Amino acid sequence: MNTLPTLFLSHGSPMTALEPGAAGAFLQRLGPAVDAAFGRPRAVLAISAHTLTREPVLLAAPRHEAVYDFHGFPDELYRLRYDAPGAPALAPRVQQLLADGGFHTHVVDEGGLDHGIWTPMRYAYPRADVPVLPLGFVPTWSPERLLAFGRALAPLAHEGVLIVGSGSITHNLRMVFGGGRPPVDAPEVDSSAAFRGWVADRAAHADWAALNDYRRQAPHAALMHPSDEHWLPWYPAGGAAGDAAVGTRLHDSVTYGCLGMDAYAFGPQGARLAQALAA
């Protein structure tokens, strides 16, 4: 097993599960590209913006089902399933690595995949044959602490575990729903383009000092993230690739004119994954 890159995926609206668009097409290529370049992961450690906890928690159930953590969508969406194996045997290893990094982590035998996990997984691994271990994180932690949290997980990338942070590169739902939902293919607003471009540039230069200070330095940061829980999975994903890891943008698209669907791979393996996706 080769060393795996670590990933940040924008999971978008729950409707992505029914309307895949460009991001869904990318995710369909992602799983096969990871397998071809690095070998099939033995598990996915998923850090989602929708699994938020007061202290870190590993959901170590032997099996998971999709959790429909949303309302007001078509009935068809609630009939979709993603019954995936869990990874309870991996939980003690993750718990010990986090303890070694100074993070106390709970392990519970409960399961369930929020839509930030099952939506991208349903495209990347549609047969639901890769075990998943969700890791709940603390949304009040600073970017620096979340980077350190991810850094403690770094050995897993050498052990066949694909570390995935699932959130959204931009996430202002008032812009999506506040005045009536815009078309899914609406032109991108300038503020979204500016924020996404800034992130791409800073990630390519591994400028983590700026990324950690995104709230002050990134253009339109407060507009694109009125609350930042969907942005925060970026940091453990980046930290798990090691200090000063470059972020390679693997995918670049927008839905509803303002909800970015960008995906990144961190570390030296990111460019290799980009090549596999382009093949």
* Pairing verdict, β 43-48 and 161-167: parallel
* Any domain includes 73: yes
Length of the chain: 279
pLDDT recorded at residue 279: 87
Count CA within 13 A, CB hemisphere, residue 142.
7
Confidence of residue 222 (pLDDT cuts 50, 70, 90): very high
End-to-end Cα separation, the chain, in angstroms: 21
Residue 37's domain comprises 6-278
pLDDT in tens, 243-266: 789 999 999 999 999 999 999 999
**Taking phi first (over 0 means left), then psi (-120 to 50 degrees means alpha), and beta for anything else, what does residue 256 get?**
left
* Any domain includes 147: yes
In the chain, the number of structural domains is: 1
Give CA–CA dist 100/137, Å, rounded.
17
* Any domain includes 1: no
Give CA–CA dist 52/136, Å, rounded.
5
Please name which of 230, 277, 228 lies closest in space to residue 252, comparing C-alpha atoms. Answer: 277
* Any domain includes 97: yes
* Any domain includes 200: yes
Rounded to the nearest integer, the mean pLDDT of the chain is 96
CATH number of 209's domain: 3.40.830.10
- Against a cut of 0.85, is the pTM above it? yes
Q: What mean pLDDT do residues 33-48 have?
A: 97
Taking a C-beta distance cutoff of 8 angstroms, is the pair 261, 169 a contact? yes
Confidence of residue 1 (pLDDT cuts 50, 70, 90): low
pLDDT at 180 over 90: no
Residue 7, beta-bridge partner list: 164, 265
* Any domain includes 35: yes
Q: Which two tokens stand for residue 271?
A: 């460019």
Cα radius of gyration (the chain): 17
* Any domain includes 66: yes
The C-alpha torsion from 119 through 146 and 267 to 7, rounded to 10°, is 0
Taking a C-beta distance cutoff of 8 angstroms, is the pair 39, 1 a contact? yes
Share of the chain above pLDDT 90, in %: 91
